Amino acid sequence: MTAPVQGSATLGIAQHHFDVAARQLDLAPALVLVLRQIKRELIVHFPVEMDDGSFRVFTGFRVQHNIARGPAKGGMRFHPAMTLADARALAMFMTWKAAVVGLPFGGAKGGVVVDPKALSITERERLTRRFTTEISLLIGPDRDIPAPDIGTGPQEMAWMMDTLSMHAGYSVPASVTGKPVAIGGSEGRNAATGRGIATVAAQALRDSGIDPTGATAAVQGFGQVGSSTAQLLAAAGMRVVAVSDSGGGVHSGGGLDVDALTALKEEGGAIADYGAAQALTNDELLTLEVDLLVPCALEAQITAANATRVRARVIAEGANAAVDPEAEAVLTEKDVLIVPDILANAGGVVVSYFEWVQNLEAFFWARGEVNARLREVMARGYDAVRTKAQADHLSLREAAYQIAVRRVAEASEVRGIYP
């Protein structure tokens, strides 16, 4: 008998969005059964030696939701609250995300239950390498390609790529994306998710009758996604009036100096240490009166508890499932335009795809080409979703899910059920 796996709010949200799409598409019951389920998942418990000579055992996961359209693709999260249920939900989001922008990938997610900030760099390296070894049964350039997520970045991807390459006996750059450029990473990958968000957010503002130049924006979370989003919104002429990290945020009605905040974070500081603006809490940030709100931290930040107080006109979900379905109903009622996660934050997986292609071909593109192709994919994806939403009287999320689920269903159907 297998132990029951506890659900999570995020898994409930993932299943809710799929169920709505399945119903709207009148999907065949057999396809609903297959696509609602996780294809494959691995739980590992593994020891790591700490710097003081003691040992700790950590738990990690790798989950593949669906691989009908191509190898599995998805991030690796190092976070103390990581659960198998969340990995399942996030793997499902990856399947739909790849499909909605037309990438030949399935969806995966993984991670380790750990607070990486509490580890030294050598402990993080040993943890990453041992975890990579433990899940190496599942991952590889044709099977499942990890990328960064919360708590991981280019350095962890370098250790993962190196570990897999040591096992193979030769370099396998296409096994991981989000690597440093020095070992085959793509130009433009670090800012790719933010660039994608900035591209679709500007279009969503225009669609809501708001000129992006001079529009006000608040960004929650100032990590890889949040910081690049804030920079690119400012570069596009928007006034970034509030940003935050896990320790709180800052606000300035006249606009923040995003470069100064980025430098502060790079030096290891916290956003709340920034003296040249007013302090505010994450809850206050989410309910500011702004044209654009971009949550780029964790799931379920906008819920029934605060949705009625949200005053943004447009929300672009940088973080997956940042807005839960109950909150979405309230916000839709208030005419807030929501660009859903599977579209808004797809820029990261788009440039991960470019990185994988460059690695397989051993032929590298200039940053300008990467950014131009990224903008093109995001603009095309947004356009297709908006056109469908308008034609069929759907929300952008419903339209995005219908496009994505239909593509994956079609691939599953034409491949058939083996044997």
Interface residues toward ligand NAD, by CB under 6 A: 148-151, 193, 220-226, 244-246, 282, 296-298, 318-320, 345, 348
Q: How far is the CB of 286 from ligand NAD (least distance, A)?
A: 9
As a whole number of angstroms, the distance between CA 117 and CA 176 comes to: 22
Q: How far is the CB of 196 from ligand NAD (least distance, A)?
A: 9
Collect all residues with Cβ–Cβ distance below 8 Å to 228 and sequence separation of at least 6: 190, 191, 193, 194, 195
Q: How far is the CB of 70 from ligand NAD (least distance, A)?
A: 18
Cβ-based nearer residue to ligand NAD, 91 or 210 = 91
Cβ-based nearer residue to ligand NAD, 286 or 389 = 286
SS3 305: coil
CB 69 within 8 A of CB 24: no
Q: How far is the CB of 225 from ligand NAD (least distance, A)?
A: 3
CA dihedral 95, 101, 102, 105 (to 10 degrees): -30
Select the residue whose beta carbon is closest to ligand NAD and give its number. Answer: 223
Cβ-based nearer residue to ligand NAD, 31 or 194 = 194
Tokens 């690119």 belong to 232
Q: How far is the CB of 272 from ligand NAD (least distance, A)?
A: 11
CA-to-CA separations, 174 to 106, 179, 245, 391, in angstroms, rounded: 16, 10, 32, 39
Order the strands of the 239-245 sheet from edge to edge. 278-280, 248-251, 239-245, 216-220, 292-295, 314-316, 337-339
DSSP string, 224-288: HHHHHHHHHHHHTT-EEEEEEETTEEEE-TT---HHHHHHHHHTT--GGG-TTSEEE-HHHHHTS
- Catalytic: 97? no
Cβ-based nearer residue to ligand NAD, 176 or 210 = 176
Respond yes or no on whether the N-terminal peptide bond of residue 173 is cis (omega within 30° of 0). no
Q: How far is the CB of 319 from ligand NAD (least distance, A)?
A: 3
**Nearest to residue 106, comparing CAs of 140, 145, 76?**
145
Cβ-based nearer residue to ligand NAD, 203 or 345 = 345
Active-site residue (options: 109, 117, 179, 334)? 109
Positions annotated as catalytic residues are: 109
